[in-house]
Structure 1
Protein backbone atom coordinates (compact mmCIF):
# COMPACT_ATOMS: atom_id res chain seq x y z
CA UNK A 1 0.00 0.00 0.00
CA UNK A 2 1.64 3.21 -1.16
CA UNK A 3 1.10 6.34 0.93
CA UNK A 4 -1.17 7.72 -1.81
CA UNK A 5 -3.39 4.62 -1.69
CA UNK A 6 -3.42 4.91 2.12
CA UNK A 7 -4.65 8.52 1.85
CA UNK A 8 -7.20 7.57 -0.79
CA UNK A 9 -8.70 4.68 1.21
CA UNK A 10 -8.99 6.85 4.32
CA UNK A 11 -10.63 9.64 2.29
CA UNK A 12 -13.12 7.14 0.86
CA UNK A 13 -13.92 6.06 4.43
CA UNK A 14 -14.61 9.70 5.36
CA UNK A 15 -11.22 10.58 6.84
CA UNK A 16 -9.43 12.95 4.47
CA UNK A 17 -5.97 13.62 5.90
CA UNK A 18 -4.57 17.12 6.19
CA UNK A 19 -1.06 17.88 4.92
CA UNK A 20 0.10 17.91 8.53
CA UNK A 21 -1.29 14.42 9.15
CA UNK A 22 0.36 13.11 5.98
CA UNK A 23 3.66 14.57 7.16
CA UNK A 24 3.18 12.96 10.58
CA UNK A 25 2.74 9.52 9.04
CA UNK A 26 5.78 10.07 6.81
CA UNK A 27 7.90 11.17 9.79
CA UNK A 28 6.61 8.18 11.77
CA UNK A 29 7.79 5.84 9.00
CA UNK A 30 11.22 7.52 8.81
CA UNK A 31 11.80 7.39 12.59
CA UNK A 32 10.61 3.78 12.75
CA UNK A 33 13.17 2.70 10.16
CA UNK A 34 15.97 4.78 11.72
CA UNK A 35 15.41 3.43 15.21
CA UNK A 36 14.86 -0.11 14.02
CA UNK A 37 18.57 -0.21 13.16
CA UNK A 38 19.38 0.43 16.84
CA UNK A 39 16.67 -1.57 18.60
CA UNK A 40 14.27 -4.24 17.41
CA UNK A 41 10.95 -2.45 16.86
CA UNK A 42 9.52 -4.32 13.89
CA UNK A 43 10.29 -6.95 11.27
CA UNK A 44 8.33 -4.83 8.77
CA UNK A 45 10.36 -1.93 7.36
CA UNK A 46 9.47 -1.74 3.63
CA UNK A 47 7.47 1.45 3.16
CA UNK A 48 4.36 0.03 1.49
CA UNK A 49 4.24 -2.77 4.07
CA UNK A 50 4.51 -0.31 6.98
CA UNK A 51 1.65 1.78 5.59
CA UNK A 52 -0.52 -1.33 5.19
CA UNK A 53 0.41 -3.63 8.06
CA UNK A 54 1.19 -1.02 10.71
CA UNK A 55 -0.54 2.27 9.90
CA UNK A 56 -3.70 1.11 8.11
CA UNK A 57 -4.05 -2.00 10.29
CA UNK A 58 -3.79 0.11 13.47
CA UNK A 59 -6.72 2.27 12.36
CA UNK A 60 -9.15 -0.67 12.37
CA UNK A 61 -10.98 0.40 15.57
CA UNK A 62 -11.75 3.74 13.88
CA UNK A 63 -12.53 2.29 10.45
CA UNK A 64 -14.85 -0.27 12.08
CA UNK A 65 -16.67 2.50 13.95
CA UNK A 66 -15.54 1.57 17.48
CA UNK A 67 -13.61 4.77 18.33
CA UNK A 68 -14.68 8.36 17.62
CA UNK A 69 -12.73 11.64 17.67
CA UNK A 70 -13.34 12.77 21.23
CA UNK A 71 -11.31 13.10 24.41
CA UNK A 72 -11.41 9.41 25.29
CA UNK A 73 -8.75 8.08 27.66
CA UNK A 74 -7.08 5.24 25.78
CA UNK A 75 -4.49 2.87 27.20
CA UNK A 76 -2.37 0.81 24.81
CA UNK A 77 -0.79 -2.25 26.40
CA UNK A 78 2.42 -3.63 24.87
CA UNK A 79 2.29 -1.10 22.05
CA UNK A 80 5.89 -1.69 20.99
CA UNK A 81 6.53 0.97 18.35
CA UNK A 82 3.20 2.67 19.11
CA UNK A 83 0.69 0.41 17.38
CA UNK A 84 -2.27 0.75 17.27
CA UNK A 85 -2.66 3.87 19.42
CA UNK A 86 -0.35 6.42 17.75
CA UNK A 87 -1.72 6.06 14.21
CA UNK A 88 -5.18 6.49 15.78
CA UNK A 89 -3.92 9.57 17.64
CA UNK A 90 -2.66 11.09 14.36
CA UNK A 91 -6.06 10.52 12.74
CA UNK A 92 -8.06 11.56 15.83
CA UNK A 93 -6.02 14.25 17.68
CA UNK A 94 -8.55 14.59 20.51
CA UNK A 95 -7.74 11.15 21.89
CA UNK A 96 -5.74 11.02 25.14
CA UNK A 97 -3.24 8.17 24.76
CA UNK A 98 -1.25 6.32 27.40
CA UNK A 99 1.17 3.53 26.50
CA UNK A 100 2.67 0.99 28.88
CA UNK A 101 5.54 -1.13 27.58
CA UNK A 102 7.95 -3.45 29.35
CA UNK A 103 11.04 -2.37 27.38
CA UNK A 104 12.54 1.01 28.27
CA UNK A 105 14.29 1.38 24.89
CA UNK A 106 10.89 1.37 23.21
CA UNK A 107 9.62 4.01 25.63
CA UNK A 108 12.64 6.19 24.75
CA UNK A 109 11.76 5.81 21.07
CA UNK A 110 8.11 6.72 21.70
CA UNK A 111 9.02 9.85 23.66
CA UNK A 112 11.26 11.13 20.87
CA UNK A 113 8.73 10.12 18.22
CA UNK A 114 5.92 12.02 19.96
CA UNK A 115 8.11 15.14 20.05
CA UNK A 116 8.94 14.83 16.36
CA UNK A 117 5.27 14.33 15.48
CA UNK A 118 4.15 17.23 17.68
CA UNK A 119 1.71 15.03 19.62
CA UNK A 120 0.10 16.31 22.82
CA UNK A 121 -1.83 14.39 25.49
CA UNK A 122 0.32 11.29 25.11
CA UNK A 123 2.07 9.57 28.03
CA UNK A 124 4.52 6.67 27.98
CA UNK A 125 5.37 4.43 30.93
CA UNK A 126 7.96 1.72 31.31
CA UNK A 127 6.82 -1.34 33.26
CA UNK A 128 4.60 -4.39 33.44
CA UNK A 129 0.85 -4.22 33.00
CA UNK A 130 0.40 -6.43 36.08
CA UNK A 131 2.12 -3.82 38.26
CA UNK A 132 0.37 -0.77 36.81
CA UNK A 133 -2.97 -2.62 37.03
CA UNK A 134 -2.69 -2.53 40.83
CA UNK A 135 -1.78 1.20 40.88
CA UNK A 136 -4.73 3.43 41.83
CA UNK A 137 -3.52 6.13 39.42
CA UNK A 138 -4.14 3.72 36.53
CA UNK A 139 -6.68 1.17 37.73
CA UNK A 140 -10.24 1.89 36.56
CA UNK A 141 -9.17 5.09 34.77
CA UNK A 142 -9.59 4.34 31.07
CA UNK A 143 -12.48 4.38 28.61
CA UNK A 144 -10.72 2.03 26.20
CA UNK A 145 -7.76 -0.34 26.36
CA UNK A 146 -6.25 -1.46 23.06
CA UNK A 147 -3.93 -4.39 22.50
CA UNK A 148 -2.57 -5.54 19.16
CA UNK A 149 -1.27 -9.11 18.94
CA UNK A 150 -0.20 -9.05 22.61
CA UNK A 151 -1.55 -12.31 24.07
CA UNK A 152 -4.41 -14.79 23.93
CA UNK A 153 -7.67 -13.40 25.34
CA UNK A 154 -7.47 -15.72 28.35
CA UNK A 155 -4.29 -13.89 29.40
CA UNK A 156 -4.98 -10.51 27.82
CA UNK A 157 -8.22 -10.01 29.73
CA UNK A 158 -6.43 -10.11 33.09
CA UNK A 159 -3.76 -7.69 31.85
CA UNK A 160 -6.27 -5.14 30.55
CA UNK A 161 -9.72 -5.27 32.20
CA UNK A 162 -8.51 -3.84 35.57
CA UNK A 163 -7.56 -0.58 33.82
CA UNK A 164 -11.05 0.05 32.47
CA UNK A 165 -13.83 2.16 33.91
CA UNK A 166 -17.11 0.31 34.33
CA UNK A 167 -18.67 0.07 30.83
CA UNK A 168 -15.21 0.68 29.38
CA UNK A 169 -14.06 -1.46 26.47
CA UNK A 170 -11.11 -3.66 25.65
CA UNK A 171 -10.48 -3.60 21.89
CA UNK A 172 -8.23 -6.48 20.91
CA UNK A 173 -6.76 -6.49 17.40
CA UNK A 174 -6.08 -10.02 16.22
CA UNK A 175 -4.60 -11.57 13.09
CA UNK A 176 -7.51 -13.96 12.61
CA UNK A 177 -10.85 -15.13 13.97
CA UNK A 178 -10.92 -15.21 17.77
CA UNK A 179 -13.66 -17.82 18.22
CA UNK A 180 -11.48 -20.51 19.82
CA UNK A 181 -9.67 -17.94 21.98
CA UNK A 182 -12.95 -16.58 23.30
CA UNK A 183 -14.14 -20.06 24.18
CA UNK A 184 -10.97 -20.59 26.24
CA UNK A 185 -11.38 -17.16 27.87
CA UNK A 186 -14.93 -17.65 29.22
CA UNK A 187 -13.80 -18.39 32.77
CA UNK A 188 -11.37 -15.45 32.83
CA UNK A 189 -14.02 -13.02 31.60
CA UNK A 190 -16.52 -14.28 34.21
CA UNK A 191 -13.99 -13.84 37.03
CA UNK A 192 -13.16 -10.33 35.81
CA UNK A 193 -16.85 -9.31 35.42
CA UNK A 194 -16.47 -8.67 31.72
CA UNK A 195 -18.19 -9.99 28.61
CA UNK A 196 -17.74 -10.03 24.85
CA UNK A 197 -19.79 -7.28 23.22
CA UNK A 198 -18.82 -7.78 19.59
CA UNK A 199 -16.38 -9.65 17.37
CA UNK A 200 -15.71 -8.44 13.83
CA UNK A 201 -13.93 -10.41 11.14
CA UNK A 202 -12.67 -8.34 8.22
CA UNK A 203 -9.83 -8.16 5.70
CA UNK A 204 -7.05 -5.72 4.97
CA UNK A 205 -7.05 -4.36 1.40
CA UNK A 206 -4.50 -7.06 0.44
CA UNK A 207 -6.85 -9.83 1.62
CA UNK A 208 -5.17 -10.65 4.96
CA UNK A 209 -7.67 -11.77 7.59
CA UNK A 210 -8.09 -9.68 10.73
CA UNK A 211 -10.35 -9.64 13.79
CA UNK A 212 -11.51 -7.04 16.30
CA UNK A 213 -12.87 -8.35 19.58
CA UNK A 214 -14.68 -5.90 21.88
CA UNK A 215 -15.01 -6.78 25.57
CA UNK A 216 -17.04 -4.64 28.00
CA UNK A 217 -16.34 -4.31 31.72
CA UNK A 218 -19.56 -4.81 33.72
CA UNK A 219 -18.45 -4.39 37.36
CA UNK A 220 -15.39 -3.44 39.39
CA UNK A 221 -12.54 -5.90 38.95
CA UNK A 222 -11.84 -7.99 42.10
CA UNK A 223 -8.82 -6.59 43.93
CA UNK A 224 -6.71 -9.72 43.48
CA UNK A 225 -6.53 -9.13 39.71
CA UNK A 226 -4.21 -8.66 38.00
CA UNK A 227 -1.98 -11.12 39.80
CA UNK A 228 1.78 -10.54 40.12
CA UNK A 229 3.91 -10.06 37.02
CA UNK A 230 4.38 -13.26 35.05
CA UNK A 231 1.61 -15.27 36.74
CA UNK A 232 -1.18 -14.52 34.21
CA UNK A 233 1.06 -15.91 31.48
CA UNK A 234 2.10 -19.01 33.44
CA UNK A 235 -1.29 -19.77 34.99
CA UNK A 236 -4.09 -18.26 32.86
CA UNK A 237 -7.46 -17.87 34.57
Structure 2
Protein backbone atom coordinates (compact mmCIF):
# COMPACT_ATOMS: atom_id res chain seq x y z
CA UNK A 1 0.00 0.00 0.00
CA UNK A 2 1.33 3.40 -0.98
CA UNK A 3 2.16 5.26 2.24
CA UNK A 4 1.80 8.70 0.65
CA UNK A 5 -1.77 7.92 -0.43
CA UNK A 6 -2.58 6.82 3.13
CA UNK A 7 -1.11 10.01 4.57
CA UNK A 8 -2.95 12.20 2.05
CA UNK A 9 -6.26 10.47 2.80
CA UNK A 10 -5.72 10.98 6.53
CA UNK A 11 -4.88 14.65 6.03
CA UNK A 12 -8.07 15.26 4.02
CA UNK A 13 -10.09 13.56 6.76
CA UNK A 14 -8.45 15.57 9.53
CA UNK A 15 -6.59 12.57 10.97
CA UNK A 16 -3.04 12.90 12.32
CA UNK A 17 -1.19 9.65 11.76
CA UNK A 18 1.81 8.50 13.74
CA UNK A 19 4.48 6.45 11.97
CA UNK A 20 3.18 3.35 13.72
CA UNK A 21 -0.39 4.01 12.63
CA UNK A 22 0.69 4.44 9.02
CA UNK A 23 2.54 1.14 9.16
CA UNK A 24 -0.48 -0.61 10.65
CA UNK A 25 -2.81 0.79 7.99
CA UNK A 26 -0.45 -0.39 5.25
CA UNK A 27 -0.21 -3.88 6.81
CA UNK A 28 -4.01 -4.03 7.04
CA UNK A 29 -4.47 -3.08 3.39
CA UNK A 30 -1.75 -5.43 2.15
CA UNK A 31 -3.44 -8.34 3.96
CA UNK A 32 -6.78 -7.21 2.53
CA UNK A 33 -5.44 -7.28 -1.03
CA UNK A 34 -3.70 -10.61 -0.49
CA UNK A 35 -6.83 -12.20 0.98
CA UNK A 36 -9.07 -10.63 -1.66
CA UNK A 37 -7.27 -12.70 -4.30
CA UNK A 38 -8.73 -15.80 -2.64
CA UNK A 39 -12.08 -14.64 -1.28
CA UNK A 40 -14.19 -11.67 -2.29
CA UNK A 41 -13.87 -9.00 0.39
CA UNK A 42 -14.03 -5.84 -1.71
CA UNK A 43 -14.41 -4.74 -5.33
CA UNK A 44 -12.10 -1.79 -4.63
CA UNK A 45 -8.55 -3.00 -5.13
CA UNK A 46 -6.17 -0.31 -6.39
CA UNK A 47 -4.29 1.78 -3.86
CA UNK A 48 -5.72 5.16 -4.83
CA UNK A 49 -9.32 3.96 -4.66
CA UNK A 50 -8.70 2.14 -1.37
CA UNK A 51 -7.17 5.26 0.15
CA UNK A 52 -10.13 7.41 -0.86
CA UNK A 53 -13.20 5.17 -0.88
CA UNK A 54 -12.28 2.97 2.07
CA UNK A 55 -9.82 4.81 4.32
CA UNK A 56 -10.73 8.49 3.91
CA UNK A 57 -14.44 7.68 3.88
CA UNK A 58 -14.06 5.71 7.12
CA UNK A 59 -11.95 8.37 8.82
CA UNK A 60 -14.50 11.10 8.08
CA UNK A 61 -16.56 9.57 10.88
CA UNK A 62 -13.87 10.06 13.54
CA UNK A 63 -14.69 13.68 14.39
CA UNK A 64 -18.21 12.62 15.43
CA UNK A 65 -17.12 9.87 17.84
CA UNK A 66 -16.40 10.88 21.47
CA UNK A 67 -13.13 9.97 23.16
CA UNK A 68 -12.98 6.54 24.81
CA UNK A 69 -16.26 5.51 23.20
CA UNK A 70 -17.55 1.99 22.80
CA UNK A 71 -18.33 1.55 19.11
CA UNK A 72 -20.13 -1.18 17.19
CA UNK A 73 -19.79 -1.40 13.40
CA UNK A 74 -22.74 -3.21 11.85
CA UNK A 75 -22.07 -4.96 8.54
CA UNK A 76 -18.39 -4.06 8.68
CA UNK A 77 -17.40 -6.23 5.72
CA UNK A 78 -13.64 -5.92 5.27
CA UNK A 79 -13.39 -3.59 8.28
CA UNK A 80 -14.70 -0.27 7.03
CA UNK A 81 -15.23 1.93 8.84
CA UNK A 82 -14.68 0.17 12.19
CA UNK A 83 -11.24 -1.38 11.82
CA UNK A 84 -9.86 1.62 9.92
CA UNK A 85 -11.10 3.82 12.75
CA UNK A 86 -9.66 1.60 15.48
CA UNK A 87 -6.15 1.84 14.03
CA UNK A 88 -6.15 5.65 14.16
CA UNK A 89 -8.25 5.92 17.36
CA UNK A 90 -6.62 3.63 19.96
CA UNK A 91 -8.91 5.15 22.61
CA UNK A 92 -11.91 3.34 21.12
CA UNK A 93 -13.32 -0.03 22.15
CA UNK A 94 -14.55 -1.49 18.86
CA UNK A 95 -16.84 -4.41 18.01
CA UNK A 96 -16.89 -5.40 14.34
CA UNK A 97 -20.01 -7.31 13.30
CA UNK A 98 -20.65 -9.17 10.07
CA UNK A 99 -22.95 -12.04 9.10
CA UNK A 100 -20.39 -13.55 6.69
CA UNK A 101 -17.94 -15.85 8.44
CA UNK A 102 -15.11 -15.48 5.92
CA UNK A 103 -15.10 -11.72 6.49
CA UNK A 104 -15.01 -12.12 10.26
CA UNK A 105 -12.16 -14.64 9.91
CA UNK A 106 -10.22 -12.07 7.87
CA UNK A 107 -10.88 -9.35 10.45
CA UNK A 108 -9.58 -11.59 13.24
CA UNK A 109 -6.39 -12.16 11.25
CA UNK A 110 -5.87 -8.40 11.01
CA UNK A 111 -6.57 -7.94 14.72
CA UNK A 112 -4.01 -10.64 15.55
CA UNK A 113 -1.43 -9.34 13.07
CA UNK A 114 -1.63 -5.78 14.37
CA UNK A 115 -2.01 -6.91 18.01
CA UNK A 116 -5.02 -4.64 18.49
CA UNK A 117 -6.55 -4.72 21.94
CA UNK A 118 -10.13 -3.64 22.70
CA UNK A 119 -11.13 -4.92 19.26
CA UNK A 120 -13.58 -7.78 18.70
CA UNK A 121 -14.65 -9.43 15.44
CA UNK A 122 -18.08 -11.00 15.82
CA UNK A 123 -19.90 -13.36 13.46
CA UNK A 124 -23.52 -12.39 14.07
CA UNK A 125 -26.62 -10.68 12.73
CA UNK A 126 -27.57 -7.27 14.04
CA UNK A 127 -31.20 -8.23 14.62
CA UNK A 128 -30.06 -11.04 16.93
CA UNK A 129 -27.65 -8.82 18.87
CA UNK A 130 -30.37 -6.21 19.36
CA UNK A 131 -32.43 -8.77 21.30
CA UNK A 132 -29.45 -9.99 23.33
CA UNK A 133 -29.06 -8.26 26.70
CA UNK A 134 -25.27 -8.60 26.45
CA UNK A 135 -25.33 -6.18 23.51
CA UNK A 136 -28.56 -4.19 23.72
CA UNK A 137 -28.16 -0.62 25.07
CA UNK A 138 -24.39 -1.18 25.41
CA UNK A 139 -22.67 1.12 22.91
CA UNK A 140 -21.91 4.82 22.80
CA UNK A 141 -21.87 4.78 19.01
CA UNK A 142 -23.17 2.47 16.30
CA UNK A 143 -21.90 3.02 12.79
CA UNK A 144 -23.01 1.43 9.52
CA UNK A 145 -21.89 1.92 5.95
CA UNK A 146 -24.36 -0.58 4.47
CA UNK A 147 -26.52 0.28 1.46
CA UNK A 148 -29.60 -0.74 3.48
CA UNK A 149 -32.41 1.83 3.70
CA UNK A 150 -32.16 4.20 6.67
CA UNK A 151 -35.36 2.99 8.44
CA UNK A 152 -33.99 -0.57 8.32
CA UNK A 153 -30.54 0.50 9.54
CA UNK A 154 -32.16 2.45 12.36
CA UNK A 155 -34.17 -0.55 13.53
CA UNK A 156 -31.09 -2.76 13.46
CA UNK A 157 -28.69 -0.31 15.12
CA UNK A 158 -30.56 1.93 17.57
CA UNK A 159 -31.45 -0.91 19.99
CA UNK A 160 -27.70 -1.45 20.45
CA UNK A 161 -27.01 2.18 21.39
CA UNK A 162 -27.12 3.55 24.93
CA UNK A 163 -29.53 6.35 25.73
CA UNK A 164 -27.50 9.50 25.02
CA UNK A 165 -25.45 7.73 22.36
CA UNK A 166 -25.71 8.01 18.61
CA UNK A 167 -26.05 6.14 15.36
CA UNK A 168 -23.91 7.34 12.46
CA UNK A 169 -25.23 6.08 9.13
CA UNK A 170 -22.88 6.54 6.18
CA UNK A 171 -25.03 7.22 3.13
CA UNK A 172 -24.71 8.49 -0.42
CA UNK A 173 -26.22 11.58 -2.01
CA UNK A 174 -29.72 10.44 -1.00
CA UNK A 175 -29.51 10.49 2.78
CA UNK A 176 -33.14 9.19 3.05
CA UNK A 177 -33.87 11.33 6.08
CA UNK A 178 -37.17 12.77 4.84
CA UNK A 179 -38.86 9.36 4.73
CA UNK A 180 -37.11 8.08 7.86
CA UNK A 181 -38.00 10.58 10.60
CA UNK A 182 -41.08 8.68 11.78
CA UNK A 183 -39.19 5.39 12.03
CA UNK A 184 -36.32 7.06 13.88
CA UNK A 185 -38.73 8.56 16.44
CA UNK A 186 -40.50 5.21 16.92
CA UNK A 187 -37.14 3.67 17.81
CA UNK A 188 -36.26 6.32 20.40
CA UNK A 189 -34.02 8.36 18.12
CA UNK A 190 -33.93 11.90 16.85
CA UNK A 191 -32.27 13.16 13.69
CA UNK A 192 -29.42 15.36 14.90
CA UNK A 193 -27.50 16.37 11.80
CA UNK A 194 -26.73 15.48 8.19
CA UNK A 195 -23.16 16.23 7.14
CA UNK A 196 -22.41 16.22 3.42
CA UNK A 197 -18.94 15.88 1.98
CA UNK A 198 -17.19 14.91 -1.23
CA UNK A 199 -14.40 12.44 -1.88
CA UNK A 200 -11.76 13.05 -4.56
CA UNK A 201 -12.68 11.51 -7.89
CA UNK A 202 -16.31 10.87 -6.97
CA UNK A 203 -19.11 12.51 -8.94
CA UNK A 204 -21.64 12.36 -6.13
CA UNK A 205 -21.59 13.57 -2.51
CA UNK A 206 -21.55 11.42 0.60
CA UNK A 207 -23.57 11.96 3.78
CA UNK A 208 -23.16 11.20 7.45
CA UNK A 209 -26.59 10.91 9.02
CA UNK A 210 -26.21 11.40 12.78
CA UNK A 211 -29.09 10.16 14.94
CA UNK A 212 -29.17 10.73 18.70
CA UNK A 213 -30.65 8.09 21.00
CA UNK A 214 -33.08 10.08 23.17
CA UNK A 215 -35.25 7.31 24.60
CA UNK A 216 -34.91 3.59 25.19
CA UNK A 217 -36.00 1.55 22.18
CA UNK A 218 -39.21 -0.41 22.77
CA UNK A 219 -38.56 -4.07 23.53
CA UNK A 220 -40.45 -5.22 20.42
CA UNK A 221 -37.61 -3.86 18.26
CA UNK A 222 -35.71 -5.07 16.38
CA UNK A 223 -38.16 -7.39 14.71
CA UNK A 224 -37.15 -10.43 12.66
CA UNK A 225 -35.30 -9.50 9.48
CA UNK A 226 -37.99 -10.82 7.17
CA UNK A 227 -40.52 -8.57 8.92
CA UNK A 228 -38.19 -5.57 8.86
CA UNK A 229 -37.71 -5.93 5.11
CA UNK A 230 -41.33 -6.69 4.26
CA UNK A 231 -42.87 -4.10 6.60
CA UNK A 232 -40.33 -1.31 7.21
CA UNK A 233 -41.26 1.31 9.78
Q: Same fold (TM over 0.5)?
A: yes
Matched, 1:144 2:141: yes
1:123 equivalenced with 2:120 (yes/no) = yes
Runs of 5+ unmatched residues, structure 2: none
Question: Do the aligned partners of residues 143 and 225 (structure 1) sit closer, same or farther apart at CA in structure 2, a change above 3 Å counting?
Answer: same
Deviation string 1:25-50 (CA, Å, 9 cap, x unpaired) is 11111111111122211000111111
What TM-score, normalized by structure 1, do the two folds share?
Answer: 0.92
Q: How far apart, CA to CA, are the structure 2 residues paired with 1:42 and 1:5?
A: 18
Q: 1:93 aligns with which of 66, 90, 93?
A: 90
The answer as to 2:210 corresponding to 1:214 is: yes
Question: CA separation in 2, counterparts of 1:228 and 1:47?
Answer: 39
TM-score scaled by structure 2?
0.93
* Contact 2:97-2:121 at 8 Å conserved across structures: yes
C-alpha contact (below 8 Å) 2:15/2:59 kept by paired residues: no
Structure-2 change in CA distance of 1:3 and 1:48 (3 Å) = farther
Residue of structure 1 in register with 2:3 after alignment: 3
* Residue in structure 2 matched with residue 190 of structure 1 by the alignment: 185
When structure 1 is superposed on structure 2, of 211-220 and 146-155 the one drifting more is 146-155
CA distance in 1, matches of 2:227, 2:195: 30
Structure 1 segments, 4+ long, off by >2 Å, are 8-16, 205-208
Whether contact under 8 Å (2:12, 2:56) holds in the other structure is: no
Describe how 1:74-89 pairs up with structure 2 within 5 A. 74-89=71-86
Shift in Å at residue 2 of structure 1? 5.4
The alignment partner of 1:219 has SS state of: coil
Summarize the alignment of residues 41-80 of structure 1 with structure 2, pairs less than 5 Å apart.
41-62=41-62, 65-68=63-66, 70-80=67-77
User: Structure 2: how far apart are the matches of 1:142 and 1:53?
Assistant: 26
> Which secondary structure does the structure 2 equivalent of 1:183 belong to?
coil
Unpaired runs of 5+ in structure 1?
none
1:169 Cα deviation from its structure 2 partner: 0.3
- For residues 79 and 125 of structure 2, what CA distance do their matches in structure 1 show? 16
Q: Which moved more, 1:132-141 or 1:23-32?
A: 23-32
The answer to whether the 8 A contact 1:3-1:48 is kept is no
Match of residue 133 from structure 1: 130
Distance of aligned partners of 1:13 and 1:226 in 2 relative to their CA distance in 1, 3 Å threshold: closer
**Aligned to 1:102, which of 99, 102, 113?**
99
2:195 equivalent in structure 1:
200
